[in-house]
Structure 1
């Protein structure tokens, strides 16, 4: 990873609409192999170049949920950050991520429900200027106030 934003926590009281955070990740063969092992998703489109050459992608691609996991990393590490609880996520996969691609995962605050500590986020992943994944997330943000 490189050019990543600082990690930590932004409490609900300090979150503002339009606030955004991101990270960069170079997707490696090892990342794909590890994700396959952990998820038990051993679809050959991810692991077998000969097989993948015959698919609509013309070569191996990363798991879509590996890419989506980068959004989770931004949410859990940066915005809102540590202590955040995922409540929901929609995802639309718009293009493949290939081994060697540099992915920018980004979240932007679109709505805040302060009394319920809910934050709505626009989410996306971009490779070479092209959006490859987009969606929306709902999270429960940490609070500076004791409950």
Structure 2
């Protein structure tokens, strides 16, 4: 069964209930405040994120959000929706395809590609987009929660 419902309530889908092709997503506008807070928390104060004058003279011709801020939206989908609470991240590959700018509405989507029930491991396709432009893509490996270990 392909599940294309977006922005569902938070919670958990146990590995016993996961199916290949299930998807979940969230959409968030990236604000100046988000970028400032991410710079503070991460200590990544690269001026391409924080200084418009500096950023104008770069290949981006203006400020951009941290790539890992965008990637964190994938983490939010995985940790809150698919599989959800109790999920343990084991790995994530990322390829950054286009910049995200302050004010962009980013949609992060996660899709179940493979399930290893014996090891409770789930492989997820992950990507983020702004409108029709894919800005990030990758794959995650997670340890999914199970009713057997409640």
TM-score normalised according to structure 2 size: 0.95
Pairs aligned (count): 145
1:21 is matched with: 24
Match among 71, 74, 84 for residue 87 of structure 2: 84
The question of 1:142 aligning with 2:139 is answered no
1:51 to 2:50 alignment: no
Q: Displacement of 1:146 after TM fit?
A: 2.9
Give the Cα–Cα distance (whole angstroms) in 2 for the partners of residues 139 and 145 of structure 1: 17
CA distance, structure 2, for counterparts of residue 59 and residue 29 of structure 1: 13
Superposition deviation, residue 4 in structure 1: 2.1
Aligned to 2:113: 110
SS of match in other structure, 2:101: coil
1:145, CA displacement in angstroms?
A: 1.0
- Structure 1 residues without counterparts, runs of 5 or longer: none
CA distance in 1, matches of 2:44, 2:148: 41
Report the equivalent of 1:63.
Answer: 66
* Cα distance in structure 2, aligned partners of 1:66 and 1:120: 22
Q: Deviations over 1:17-55 (max 9, x none)?
A: 000000000000000000000000000000000000000
Runs of 4+ aligned residues of structure 1 deviating over 6 Å after TM superposition are none
Match of 1:37 in 2: 40
The TM-score with structure 1 as length reference comes to 0.97
